[in-house]
Structures are given as C-alpha cells and as structure tokens.
Structure 1
Amino acid sequence: MPGCDFTRRDLLRWSAVAAAAPVTATAFHGVASAATSGDDISPANLELVTLTEDRAIITWYTGYTGTDDGLGRMVPAPADGEVRWGTHPGRLNRVAAGLSSHTPYHYVELTGLEPGRTYYYQATSRGKPVPPTAFTLISGNAVGTSDHGLDGTGPYSFTTPQPPPGRHLFTIALCNDLHMGETQAGLVGGQPQYIGIQQEPGLPPYPEVMLESLVRDVSALGADYLLAAGDISAEAVPVDLSKAHQLLGRFGAYLDDYFVTRGNHDRAHLGDPYATCRAGQWQGNDCFADRFFPAQAERTYFTRTLNGLRVIGIDTYDKPGNGGDAGSLSPDQLAWFRDQLHRDQDRPTIVFGHHPLVVQDSAFPISPSNSLDAAQAATILQDYSRMPGLFLHHAGHTHRNKRTISPLALHVTHQEIAAAKEYPGGFSLLRLHTGGYALNFYKSRSEPARRWSERSRMEILGYWPQFALGASVADRNTVVRHDLSGLRPVRHGHGSQGHGREPHSLV
C-alpha cells in the first residue's frame, strides 16, 4: 500500500473517491465463477512498461471470458500473444513474440528501434486486440506517449527518446520494498472489503519469487551495482533479513556490488523474535543493523564512491516509532548528511533512501506518513539547490513509479520506484553516460514473477495499477542531460560477479 501505513482517515477519503469512480472491468465481484463461454479467452491490461532509445517492453494478461478467480479478475488462460508494429498506423509490418509462447502473462520486447522515431503497435491474443489498463481515477496513459488509438482499439503509439549523450560508463539497478517475510499484499486499515492477496497454494513465497527474478534480470541486463532503498523486510525478523541478504548476494558482494538502506518496516522491534539482536538506538532490538551494518555502532547511513560517482545512502527511519508515521533523520544524521552535501558540491552525486522528500499527484490521499518529515525535507531541498553535482534522489515507500521535479532544485530528479514485491513488481536501471543518464523501469520477467505480479494487481479492488504503474510512460522512463564526464567506466572482469568494484570504505 502507499507507504504501507494507510490510516482510517485516509481509508475513508480514498473510499469516497473510489466509490465515485466508474466501475471498471476489474472491480471486485467477490466469488469465483466458472467459464461462461466455454474456452473463450479475452486479453486485458495492456501496458507499455519500458521505453528506451532502441527497445520497448509491452505486457498484458489473458483470461477466460466471463470468469472470476475470486479476486475480481478473469481466471488465467494460456494463449498466444504477438505485437505487430511499424512506423505507420496502417502498416504494422513487423511482428514480435513474447518470452513465453503460450501463457496468460505476456511479455513482449520490441528491439532494433531507432532513437527519436514514432512507432505504432497492436498487441493481440487469439486474434483479439488487447485493451489498455484503464485509468478512471487519474488522467494518464498506460500504453503510449501519445493518445493515438485510445479512442478505439488501437493501434497505440510511442516515440523513442534520444539516448543520453556521450559514451556509456556503467549501470546501477535501483529497487526498494522487497518486504521479505510478507505473506499478504494489499492489506488496508484492517477493513475486510480490502482483502489481502496471498500467494497461490503450493508456490514459493512471493517476496522470494520477486527478488530472485529481480537479481537474475538486473544481472542479465548488465547492471554493475545495485541499490535497495529500504523495506528490505516485512518486519525485520532475522530469518527474513538473512534471506534477503542471501538472495541479494547472488548479484554480488555486499558493500562492494550492492548496498541497502533502512525502511520503516526494518525498524527496531520488541519481542522474542528479536531478542538476540543488538539493542536499538531508539527502541527494541535492531536486527536490521545487525545484519547489514554490524561493524558500525549506531550509524546506518553512509557515503560510497563508485567509479567517481558519489552515492549517499540515508536512513529515513532513524527515530523511534511504529513505522506508520513520517520518516525522519536523527539530528546527528541530518547534520552528517548536510555536511556530506556541502563537502563537494560539484561531484556527480545520487542520494537513495526509503521515504521520498516530496509526494505529488497521488490517486490516494497524501498524508504526512507518505514522506520524510516536512521540515527536514524543506531543509534538504534547500541544500540540494546549492549542489550542481546532485542529479538524482531515489526513494521507495509509496510503491509507485513517479518522477517529480521540485521547483526548489530543478536539476534534481526525484524518482519514486514501484515496489519490487508486488505489481508492477520490478526495478529501474540507471544508465550513466558522459553527458547524461537514462532511467528505465522493468517488470521482473520470470514466469513466476509475472504470475504473481498479475495476481497482486488486484489490490484495492483492482484500482492498484492506477496508482502503482505510473500515470505516464515518463513516470517510469526518462532521459536527462547532465555532465557526468568526470566518472570512470567500469572495468568488467573485476569483482565477485564481474562488477568493477573500487576499494573504498563506507564513510
């Protein structure tokens, strides 16, 4: 859920908005039903997920027409799937097939695209055109960068961006909200009508499914480093933190290849499951610090230099609390963070931490718990305005894709990235070039990951995609010019997984 901390007041405000919205085909029906049309199959949920200068990734779902799986969606139905595409809407003369030839969970990649060109496409299963994911609560477009085709059944349209200027240097995978140990997604305020969605019986826990796929995918896509911005666990239970550490370790070495920060779910806890962990600075026992910061007495924040890029990881729940309030840095951390920012203002820098500094344009009510403490955020944004080298702040917590530019620091992109553990279920790749960067969101693509992602899209009675996917393609895919010529390329062939590590310690 947005911040995983919906209050009863938030729930009442959201319920009023949802009740006033048109009922969509994915609205909750309550009980499973049998097929009403034999083996008739309908496609749904078309989404243009990833758009780079030379490729596009398109996904959708097929189900048995007229059925209900008990969550409000059609029962999954394996079917063929293809995308016909071209540079003119009346001449779709190229065809692309998906990762799987017969599946309910379609994932098709168009390759060989040219930068700056407009393309048209039509996705079909069983010869039927696939309708877009509907946005009824927000203004948005799930399938293209223009409105072409939205008034009918397509074809839909997108224009590829230009690549970042200069040569490619290295790539960083950004992710958050792994929630290892969670067993129900989409619980809201204890209200029974907003049911929690569980993994199908007999299948592995969904946080493990999603993280396993994520690690494989970012490695296959050539990521050199990985940053995980908080909520590594559901409730900081030692076994769950250890499992996250183990699965992330398949990418590479901790503190060399991958790095994590704390989220509100990773806070220190009270109770027997936590009794063997160190005493928390603010409360209870801090198992997160034991697992990921064992050598540091109380500091769970750091700087790191990666091939000339300064990375600052902040702990946005460095405080006492139950996890349902606004994030905050301790006075000591805030002083340390501001000092780091002022030390080398021209150095290319990114910041990552769990709570966003700003939250805008939400389909759900925006409350103080969605972001960092307002006074601290204002102070930090003022600092950002004086830092020409800082270009990206990566956050999680809201479980959505959203790009924001604050008027207080126009050169800094604030990127909220959707949760790794549920729909749309994935990560972003930050590709750094000498003259700028590209930031692209990818859904995790293993068959079990796609299966769970489609199941979990039914959170909030099926309205969840209108919040989590991103209102526009630009909310999950962007290219920005920025001088990164001082960075050094990764030397492949070094490091535990072929990543070009540098032997710098945490500060």
Structure 2
Amino acid sequence: MTTIDVTTVTDSDAVVHVTPTDDAPVVVHRFAGLQPDADVVVEVPDPTDPEVVHEIPIRTLERPSGALHCVVTTVNDVHFGEMSAGQIDDLELGPIRRSAPGAEPYPEVMNRAAVAEMTALDPAAVVVKGDLSLDGAPEEWAAFEECYRTPFGDRLHVVRGNHDSYRHQDAYAGDQRIDLPGVTVALLDTAIPGSTTGDITADQADWLDALAAGATNPVLVMGHHQQWIAGTSADPSESKRSDDYFGLHPDASDRLDDVCARRSSIVAYACGHTHRHRVRTMTMSGISSIEVGCTKDFPGTWAEYRVFDGGIMQVVHRMSSPEALAWSEPCRGLYSDFDIDYGAYALGELSDRCFVIPLR
C-alpha cells in the first residue's frame, strides 16, 4: 500500500511525501499558491499506478496579522558520531540501521541536508536544541561545528543536551538570551551532567522570569528536554509524577509553567529529546509545550518559526534531498521489535508540526 504523508502545511503551501510499496524512492510533491485558512484538495498521482490520482484534503494555516519580522530555524537531536540508529543500550532487538560500509555516516548526510534547506531561507538565527553528539567527544563536536558553524557563523546558537554532558562536559552549557526582530528566544540549558533526565533550577526560573518581565517582544522559550505535564498522556511512564521522568523533572516542569503563567510575554516552550512531534498544553499558563522530531532519522526534520506582528507560525519540514530520504524512510520501521510504531510516533499529526502560536 502506498503511504501518503502530508508533511508540511503553511498559509500558502503544502508538501506531500509519497512512499511506494516496492522500495522505490520517495516522491515529493509541492503545492504553492494555496489560499490561507482554507480547506483545499490537492491531487497526488500514485507512483505505482499512473491511472490512480489521490485527492488529499488539506486545511491551510491562517496567516498571522501584520508584517513578517524574521525567520528562526531550529534542529535538535542531530547526533554526530552515532553509528547505529534504533539501538537501545546493548540490545540486539531493532531493527537497527547503520550506514553501508564505506558510505558517509548518516548523521553527516542528514545534517548537511538540513543545513542546505535552512540556508535557503537566510534565517535570522539558527537554534540547535541539544544532543549535538553521541557522547560529547571532541571529534563529534568538531563535525557538528564544521557542518553548522561554517555556514551560519554568529547566527548559530547552541545549547547542550544529555548526550553532550554524559561525562560532565561543560561545552555549550548555560542559558542564552537571543534578541531578534519581533521576538526574543530564551534558550535554557536543561541538561543534568551525567544524567539522561533534565532540570530547570530555581535560579534559571528566576533568570527567565526577569527576562520575560522586561521583554518588549514575545518570548519563545527553547530547551532540550520535554516537560512533564499531568494528564496529557495515557502512557503510565509519562503520567506518573516521578523523579526519574525521562524529560524535565516534574518540579522543574511546574517551575517553568509557573513562570509562563506569570509572564504573558512567554508564548510557548519548544524542545527536542523525544524524537517525536507533539504539542501539549501547560496546566497553569495554558500555552503550548512543543516537541520537534529528530534530524538524524525518520522523518528527518527541522523547523522554522515565522515571526509576525500577530503571532508566530511553526512550520516543520522533512528534509527532501534524495540522499536524506533514502536514509530516513527505512528508519520509519525502527523499534518494531519492541512493538512500537515509530513512524506514527515520530511523525505525529500534522497539527503537531504546523500551526500558529498566538500571542497572549
């Protein structure tokens, strides 16, 4: 059965990826000039039968009011140095995918594709939300810097993730304020050195509170780890308040929500870590807590934030070079030995990837 994914939608464009059943290459269809805030139907030919045309309904996004001030792009979980996709600890269950012998390592392929697509937008800033590496080795960070710093220079803003601090490294540590036209990005260092889980300390919360209190622009908070939010998942491992929650500690998660509730300049929190696309609502502030999927495997994505007077549009893109799709598409089946539908988990719903963040 042919797989059809509407991967991206904006106020005027849509992208559809079509995967044939016979291991043929993924076909990319792009539609431009669509009406904003409208129900449209796009026609997609079936790659296995030229007489079949699929009619795909799409709802375009509403364009926020006012001028477009800038575009910010972001990636996370880029994992330079990784050699085995889908491997959990030392288990041989999988499937586990590796680059072919003699081939370029897949993190290089995927990140180069992301950089090429982001460069075409000439973004005001590029934010990397952690897990630059497999284990924070110098050669892994050097590969990351060569790929990202060379094209973006001082537009690049980087914070560490858990993979970058397992051995208590302090490179890319610390919170950062990034002032841009129409928006301020507050980039939080959520890593706990030596640990997989994350934290936002009381001092960090005070820093964010002061930043937001004095902000004249909307504040978009970013970090590596996802929030714990009570009642937003049927998964027992996510619903239980636990000290070993895989993302931000529940106390830290509440601390972040509390600051957001007090400071209406903060419009959302965006992170990585989970390798999935998902949007939930914070309990106290009622704003969005956003997870953006990984760059290194399926679906292989990066996100942009279009900053308007009247709101911020998040648009997630699947890298679509032939080399990137040849690697990412077979990764759709990772973790199937664990009875996990990684394709559905990682891709999420279209509304988890492309939407408008309202101002408060």
- Larger Cα-atom Rg: 1
Matched, 1:300 2:174: yes
Matched to 2:200, the amino acid is: L
Q: CA deviation at 1:362?
A: 7.0
**Paired residues of 2:185 and 2:219 also in contact (CA < 8 A):** yes
Aligned with 1:321 (options 194, 214, 225): 194
CA deviations over 1:84-107 (Å, ceiling 9, x no partner): xxxxxxxxxxxxxxxxxxxx1211
Aligned with 1:58 (options 5, 16, 30): 16
Aligned with 2:342 (options 464, 471, 482): 464
CA deviations over 1:338-375 (Å, ceiling 9, x no partner): 4434x426641111110012364477953743320101
In the other structure, the counterpart of 1:481 is 358
* 1:3-402 equivalence runs, <5 A: 44-64=2-22, 76-77=23-24, 104-120=25-41, 121-127=43-49, 155-253=55-153, 256-269=154-167, 283=168, 286=169, 289=171, 292=172, 300-307=174-181, 309-317=183-191, 319-323=192-196, 326-330=197-201, 332-341=203-212, 343-344=213-214, 347-358=217-228, 360-361=232-233, 365-366=237-238, 368-402=244-278
**What secondary structure, in the 3-state scheme, does the structure 2 residue paired with 1:251 have?**
helix
Measure the CA separation in 1 of the matches of 2:50 and 2:354: 28
Q: CA deviation at 1:156?
A: 2.8
**What secondary structure, in the 3-state scheme, does the structure 1 residue paired with 2:251 have?**
helix
**Paired residues of 1:164 and 1:435 also in contact (CA < 8 A):** yes
Matched, 1:432 2:329: no
Q: CA deviation at 1:394?
A: 1.1
CA separation of 1:54 and 1:129: change in aligned 2, threshold 3 A = farther
Measure the CA separation in 2 of the matches of 1:364 and 1:396: 21
CA separation of 1:345 and 1:362: change in aligned 2, threshold 3 A = farther
Q: CA deviation at 1:258?
A: 1.3
Matched to 2:305, the amino acid is: L
CA deviations over 1:307-363 (Å, ceiling 9, x no partner): 35222111111x34342xx2113554444344434x426641111110012364477
CA separation of 1:466 and 1:380: change in aligned 2, threshold 3 A = same
Measure the CA separation in 1 of the matches of 2:301 and 2:21: 23
Q: CA deviation at 1:173?
A: 0.5
CA deviations over 1:437-475 (Å, ceiling 9, x no partner): 2111100121111111112112012721111001x2111
TM value normalised by structure 1: 0.65
CA deviations over 1:42-84 (Å, ceiling 9, x no partner): x6321000011111100022243xxxxxxxxxxx23xxxxxxx
**Paired residues of 1:444 and 1:450 also in contact (CA < 8 A):** yes
**What secondary structure, in the 3-state scheme, does the structure 1 residue paired with 2:79 have?**
coil
**Paired residues of 2:202 and 2:255 also in contact (CA < 8 A):** no
Q: CA deviation at 1:378?
A: 0.6
Superposed CA RMSD in Å reads 2.4
**What secondary structure, in the 3-state scheme, does the structure 1 residue paired with 2:128 have?**
strand
* 1:491-502 equivalence runs, <5 A: none
**Paired residues of 1:338 and 1:380 also in contact (CA < 8 A):** no
**What secondary structure, in the 3-state scheme, does the structure 2 residue paired with 1:370 have?**
coil
CA separation of 1:347 and 1:57: change in aligned 2, threshold 3 A = same
In the other structure, the counterpart of 1:33 is none
CA separation of 1:320 and 1:111: change in aligned 2, threshold 3 A = closer
**What secondary structure, in the 3-state scheme, does the structure 1 residue paired with 2:116 have?**
helix
CA separation of 1:363 and 1:459: change in aligned 2, threshold 3 A = farther
In the other structure, the counterpart of 2:328 is 453
**Paired residues of 1:363 and 1:466 also in contact (CA < 8 A):** no
**Paired residues of 2:159 and 2:189 also in contact (CA < 8 A):** yes
Q: Which of the pair is proportionally richer in helix?
A: 2
**Paired residues of 2:8 and 2:14 also in contact (CA < 8 A):** yes
In the other structure, the counterpart of 1:444 is 319
**What secondary structure, in the 3-state scheme, does the structure 2 residue paired with 1:457 have?**
helix
Measure the CA separation in 2 of the matches of 1:362 and 1:457: 23
Identity %: 24
CA deviations over 1:187-214 (Å, ceiling 9, x no partner): 1254333232112333211111111110
Measure the CA separation in 1 of the matches of 2:142 and 2:218: 33
Measure the CA separation in 2 of the matches of 1:263 and 1:129: 48
Matched to 1:108, the amino acid is: H
**Paired residues of 2:302 and 2:318 also in contact (CA < 8 A):** yes
**What secondary structure, in the 3-state scheme, does the structure 1 residue paired with 2:320 have?**
coil
Matched to 2:194, the amino acid is: G
Measure the CA separation in 1 of the matches of 2:93 and 2:223: 32
Q: CA deviation at 1:223?
A: 2.4
Measure the CA separation in 1 of the matches of 2:236 and 2:66: 40
Measure the CA separation in 2 of the matches of 1:202 and 1:398: 30
Matched to 2:79, the amino acid is: H
Measure the CA separation in 1 of the matches of 2:280 and 2:51: 33
**Paired residues of 1:168 and 1:432 also in contact (CA < 8 A):** yes
CA separation of 1:127 and 1:193: change in aligned 2, threshold 3 A = same
**Paired residues of 1:215 and 1:250 also in contact (CA < 8 A):** no
**Paired residues of 1:51 and 1:57 also in contact (CA < 8 A):** yes
Structure 1 runs, 4 residues or longer, greater than 4 Å off:
362-365
